[in-house]
Amino acid sequence: MVGLREWGWEEALEAAFAPHRAAGLAAARVVLEDKGRYRLETEGGERDAKLSGRLRHTAASREELPAVGDWVTVRLEEDAAPILGLLPRRSRFVRKAAGQTTEPQVVAANVDVVFLVVGLDREDKPRLVERYLTMAWDSGARPVVLLNKADLAADAEARAAEIASCAPGVPVHAVSARAAGGLDRLLDHLAPGRTAAFLGHSGVGKSTIVNRLLGAEAQPTGEVRAADHRGRHTTVRRQLVVLPGGALVIDTPGMRELAPWDAGEGLAETFPDAAALAEECRFRDCSHGGEPGCALQQAVAEGRFPAARLDSYLKLRGELEALGARQEGWARKAERQKLRSLHRLANRHKPRE
């Protein structure tokens, strides 16, 4: 798989791919996904691709469909290579799909580091960073916070210190993509064959940062509105590109709706201080509301723990608990739909007597 090593192919994938190779299939990495259209990197170069009918009809949710960064199995004999399945993911950044539906959406897969980009030209509060970090820790990737547009901030270092206080153990860098200030700090997190993803709201400068790293205007960029500092979706599709130094990066469209999906260890990783104090509560099932003996409420009253951070912790925990209840019903429905699709496919290919 020499031709795929620059795209991040690892020895750990060999065992999972072996039976597919024996069946005459090829491995490829998804480098672009746009409204159901895919572009892959294979050992023989770039190929257009589509979902196979079986994968399209039997996937229980969007989470089982390919995302940018995924390794997939394909049949290369056809013009638009059919994607037959996914190889195991070692990480994936997933959110609840936008809208009222209860369904996961994978934003990027097989990522080593997630750059969470926040614009210092707007009042993005620490609470937004806490939400990003909760999702990033659950993804399996390592988070790094980038405070972009430092040239537009009155005191960028003070803002960085404020954000760092709510991101324990996470690197926080104030940078300026347009002025190319501080971007050398990103190089410590980028290595040949490793994959990074840039995530953040529209207008925070993700594509401008990627262009600086590429040394070319490869990704479209746009100005933000001065009135509310909101940007347009200049990046409208997810795409994986190789940097001159050999690292790989995924630029993503801005996310105006950011709802978590997993209820894993991300909350405890983002709020280790809250989790440690919760161990001291009188009751093990303390909700940290009005119960007597709540160590968190006592820490807030004594000024040892920020009230706003506790509110953020409780809000995210409540969201995850409510989502968990909805996910049970969603999972049952998705499994029924998958079984029906398999039954229809079996009947379609059943030999006629």
Domain with CATH 2.40.50.140 in the chain: 2-86
CATH class of the region 92-251: alpha beta
Residues of the chain with pLDDT under 50: 219-222, 224-236
Tell me which CATH homologous superfamily contains domain 271-341.
Answer: Probable gtpase engc; domain 3 (1.10.40.50)
CATH class of the region 2-86: mainly beta
Q: Which amino acid is at 323?
A: L
Domain with CATH 3.40.50.300 in the chain: 92-251
Rounded to whole angstroms, how far apart are CA atoms 251 and 195? Answer: 11
The per-residue pLDDT for 130 is 92
The per-residue pLDDT for 203 is 83
* pLDDT tens per residue across span 15-43: 999 999 999 999 999 999 988 889 999 99
Domain with CATH 1.10.40.50 in the chain: 271-341
Residues whose CB falls within 8 Å of the CB of residue 351, separated by 6 or more in sequence, listed in order: none
Global pTM?
A: 0.81
48-79 as b/e: b if 16+ CB within 10 A: ebbbbeebebbbbbebebbbbbbbbbbebeee
The per-residue pLDDT for 101 is 65
The per-residue pLDDT for 230 is 45
- Other C-beta atoms closer than 10 Å to the C-beta of 310 total 19
Tokens 């401008």 correspond to what residue? 208
Residue 106's Cβ-count burial label (10 Å; 0-12, 13-18, 19+) is buried
The per-residue pLDDT for 322 is 80
Query: By the 8 A CB rule, do 231 and 203 touch?
Result: yes
Rounded to whole angstroms, how far apart are CA atoms 289 and 314? Answer: 9
Q: Give 181's DSSP letter.
A: B
Rounded to whole angstroms, how far apart are CA atoms 12 and 21? Answer: 15
Query: By the 8 A CB rule, do 38 and 32 touch?
Result: yes
The per-residue pLDDT for 150 is 87
